[in-house]
Structure 1
Amino acid sequence: MLYNQTFGLILAISSTFITTYAIYYLTRKRKSSKRFIEVGRVSDIIIYPVKSFKGISFHDDEVECSMRGLKYGSLRDRKFMVVNENNRFATARQEPTMQLIEPSLSDDRQNLILSAKDQEPLRLPVNADLAQPLVHTSIFGLDICGYECGKAAEAWLSKIFKYQGYKLLAHDDDLNGRKLADDPKWKSKSLYKDEALFTDLAQYLLISEASLDDLNTRLDKSVTMARFRPNIVVNRCSAFAEDTWSEIKIGSAHLYQTHLCGRCRMTLVDPETGVMAQNEPLKTLRKFRMVDSSHPDAKALGVAPVFGVNFNIVEVGNIKVGDIVYATVE
């Protein structure tokens, strides 16, 4: 009897191992059989240290595509975020002039410097101060925490915005990120491992220069790429070619497309004036960039036109301006 039980246990373990190995082998084989072709080159890489503030372009240095978005030293994309007294996140949707605040890094890369018109710059350590209070908040239903950046940051924000009570939060690498696979609307698009910091949706946003050029031919007044806040800008491809890139490889990084990026009223804010327009460029985008009703994401996108493509990470790696973009094309 004991022999039969032991034999059965060994057989079950062996069967599980064989099945697991078979799945692993087939997955690797499927992955290795994908054909990547050259589709363009990277023309700009932008990290937005503070959600809704201006970004920092990296034209000369390599930037890491990490498991939680772009990373340069200790600086991460959307590592900082403004919240109100109820710990609800605030963006340029509520405060359009946020897009006028310009971040920069100190020479030693240890401090983030925020500059605004008629104000003394605010200097903050890039790394969160773990002695500050830890604040629990959420973005579109996904929980995340951050450490307060102190009273000096609060006072600085109060001089810029009419609303009083804003605080600045900083994320720390030891804290959990937002679990994208738990997103109420887009969870089917991400893997369980996928995390982000204070971004709205995915880890990365990519847009081609040709797509912006096409849009501008349809507008009475052209707009800049800053309206759409991409992390990676690509040239040497046709307009909206990026829509078809299911996976991309840049430098040593490998990313997969989650979904086309639905655009909201954030795109109405002119990043040079901090003024929110009444309807453009959204009005024009809705004329030619709405997905068909048969599209699998049509319900989730609703009335949002698409412009740009969201990606999550497959394999961490470094990228730089000038890198060739390779893609599998649907």
Structure 2
Amino acid sequence: MLKTLSNQHLSLILAISSAALTSFGIVYYFQRKRKSPKRFIEVGSVSEILIYPVKSCRGISLDSAMCSLRGLKWGPLRDRKWMMINEKDRFVSARQEPKMALIVPSLSDDNQELILSTEGIEPIKIPANANVSQRLICTTIWNTDICGYECGKVAEEWLSKIFRYQGYKLVVHEDSLEGRKLADDPKWKPKSLYKDESLYSDLTQYLVISESSLDDLNKRLDEPVTMKNFRPNIVVKGCKAFAEDNWTEIKIGGAHLYRTHLCGRCRMTLVNPETGVMAHAEPLKTLREYRMVDKSHPDSKAFGVHPVFGSNFNMVEVGNIRVGDKVYAVIE
């Protein structure tokens, strides 16, 4: 009798549990069905596309480019595909050598060579693709690893004429090498997926800034600065100042990007892109007066004393973009 009651009791429990799970499943299904899909709205249009083949050197303004998994791609050029290193194989940027901002990259007519030029020195031509027979050099950028092939003595000698320093080398990334894994960055690890890779950029593959944000800053400065001080990849017009702070995802042309975090600004913004001289205070001083994140912001500790200007994005879907393309965003 007791065994019979136990079996009946067990059957009742299983029946109730099954019904509950079924009900939960149905409710969950319809809740998902009722949930509104992400709503992309038009927020502006692309006014400029910029690729920086050599880290910290001048950018190239483009009419169109491909948004690839590792950053902007234009022919054989990639964003931050080349980088300068010192004799200890540590990366060098315009923070240490402001005159890097005066090195102008361009692509040869046959698309086979990167041309580097600067005032007073004969231009140099470097193969657009890495020579894998050269020495492979591995280094770190903000505690994340990345390798590249040495560009040879010709590039080394050319750099020594500019900086009066023996020991600087140029390295180039090659497509078969691993990119810089953004999820390995100890500071910003939670912001990126493990698939996300960049080359020699400081942070993510894409930096987006609006023209209105720059206009807002320049109204507060005695001497205006240009967008070159901030080195974005995509410039947007037709939106309010700092609207890009609130775009969680954007679609441009065939590309789909997701925002990781705001861009904390450092001494790089002090480098005058026309003279290669680092200023003492502006525009960083003024940015600190009104573009510091609140202490309640989840990234406030990571930003520290750095004000924010522009938004960093990673790739969701690759695609081509053009100047004039409309920008659609999901707004948080």
TM-score (norm 1): 0.90
Q: Does 1:273 align with 2:257?
A: no
**Partner residue in 1 for 2:43:** 39
Q: Which residue of 1 aligns with 2:144?
A: 142
Which residue of 2 is the match for residue 254 of structure 1? 256
* Aligned partner (choices 91, 95, 98) of residue 96 of structure 1: 98
What CA distance in whole angstroms lies between the structure 2 residues aligned with 1:162 and 1:236? Answer: 45
Aligned residue type for 2:314:
N
Post-superposition shift, 1:266?
0.5
Give the deviation of 1:31 after TM superposition.
10
- Gaps of at least 5 residues in structure 2 are 1-28
Partner of 2:301: 299
CA deviation digits over 1:68-104, x for unaligned, max 9? 0000122100000000011000000000000000001
Deviation at 1:108, TM superposition (A): 1.7
> What is the letter of the counterpart of residue 175 of structure 1?
L
Task: Describe the superposition over 1:240-296 as per-residue Cα deviations: whole angstroms up to 9, x where unpaired.
Answer: 001000000000000000000000001000000000000100000000000000000
C-alpha separation between the residues in 1 aligned to 2:316 and 2:248?
12
CA distance in 1, matches of 2:74, 2:302: 33
**Residue in 1 aligned with 2:131?**
129
Q: Residues 159 and 283 (structure 1 numbering): CA distance in 2 closer, same or farther, change over 3 Å? A: same
Q: 2:53 aligns with which of 49, 54, 66?
A: 49
Q: Which residue type is aligned with residue 55 of structure 2?
A: K
Structure 2 equivalent of residue 178 of structure 1: 180
Give the counterpart of 2:162 among 153, 160, 163: 160
- Alpha-carbon distance in structure 1 between the residues aligned to 2:256 and 2:236: 15
Of the candidates 231, 234, 241, which is equivalent to residue 233 of structure 2? 231
Q: Match of 2:66?
A: 64
Q: Distance in 1 between matches of 2:36 and 2:277?
A: 48
Alignment correspondent of 2:189: 187
Residues 44, 195 of structure 1: alpha-carbon distance in 2 compared, 3 angstrom cutoff: same
Q: Aligned equivalents of 2:34 and 2:322: distance in 1?
A: 28
CA distance in 1, matches of 2:226, 2:33: 42
SS in 2 for 1:219: coil
Whichever residue aligns with residue 221 of structure 2, its letter is L
Deviation track 1:119-157 (CA, whole Å, cap 9, x = no partner) reads 110101111111110001110000000000010000000
Residue aligning to 2:75: 73
- SS at 1:275 equivalent: coil
- Residue 117 of structure 1 aligns with an amino acid whose one-letter code is E
Mark the CA change 1:139 to 1:30 in structure 2 (over 3 Å): closer, same or farther. Answer: farther
Match in the other structure for 2:15: none
User: What is the rounded CA distance, in whole Å, between the counterparts of 1:108 and 1:72 in structure 2?
Assistant: 14
SS of residue paired to 1:270:
coil
Q: Match of 1:312?
A: 314
Percent identical: 71
Give the 3-state SS of the residue equivalent to 1:121 in structure 2.
strand
Identify which of 195, 207, 210 aligns with 2:209: 207
Letter of the structure 2 residue corresponding to residue 76 of structure 1: R
Unaligned 5+ runs, structure 1: 1-24
What is the one-letter code of the residue matched to 1:146?
Answer: G
- Residue 30 and residue 211 in structure 1: after superposition, are their counterparts in 2 closer, same or farther (change >3 A)? farther
RMSD, aligned α-carbons: 1.6
**Using the alignment, how far apart are the partners of 1:275 and 1:192 within structure 2?**
37
SS in 1 for 2:122: coil
Amino acid at match of 1:179: K
How far apart in 1 are the matches of 2:138 and 2:208? 29
How many residue pairs align between the two structures?
303
Distance (whole Å) between structure 2 residues aligned to residue 219 and residue 82 of structure 1? 32
Which residue of structure 2 lines up, in the alignment, with residue 5 of structure 1?
Answer: none
SS at match of 2:165: coil
Which is higher, the Rg of structure 1 or of structure 2?
Answer: 2
Q: Distance in 1 between matches of 2:313 and 2:62?
A: 19
Give the letter for the 1:167 counterpart: K
Offset at residue 163 of structure 1 (A):
2.3
For residues 253 and 32 of structure 1, do their structure 2 counterparts lie closer, same or farther at Cα, with a shift above 3 Å needed?
farther
